[in-house]
Amino acid sequence: MAVGAMMARIGLVAHDDKKAEMVEWAKRHSDRLCRHELFATGTTGGRIRDEAKLEVYLFKSGPLGGDQQLGARIADGGLDALVFFIDPLTALPHDVDVKALTRLATLYGTLFACNRATADAVLMALEAEKR
């Protein structure tokens, strides 16, 4: 991404117990988020689109490959930041996909927020950063 308050490509994902929190966060920051290009796993993105009224590109649902699609975007250099509200208390059938996504975000140095506090900081960083 290049300079100033330019559009960033942001991935949004939330596990089921965290979806309400993600939607609330997206609503609170909708004036900021609408300036960026948003990508999300299917169910998370559908809720953000419907409830926060934001334009979101929807990948497949996480358990059906959506985490992998976001990971592929990271590997291709197509994502500037990832906001992923992970549920640490629930076992997931696609845990390997979750690990793969967080691994790729780490490997490629993607701005990565896993809770509301760091998500706020990531948004601020995207706006402040001189790129």
Ligand X SMILES: O=C(CO)COP(=O)(O)O
Alpha-carbon gap, residue 10 to 15, rounded angstroms: 17
The yes or no reply on residue 61 touching ligand X (CB under 6 A) is yes
- Is 95 among the catalytic positions? no
SS3 102: helix
Measure the CA angle with vertex 16, ends 78 and 27; round to 5°.
Answer: 65
The yes or no reply on residue 65 touching ligand X (CB under 6 A) is no
The yes or no reply on residue 73 touching ligand X (CB under 6 A) is no
- Given candidates 52, 98, 119, 122, which one binds ligand X under the rule CB under 6 A? 98
SS3 92: coil
Residues that bind ligand X (CB under 6 A): 13, 15, 41-44, 61-63, 66-67, 94, 98
Catalytic residues: 67
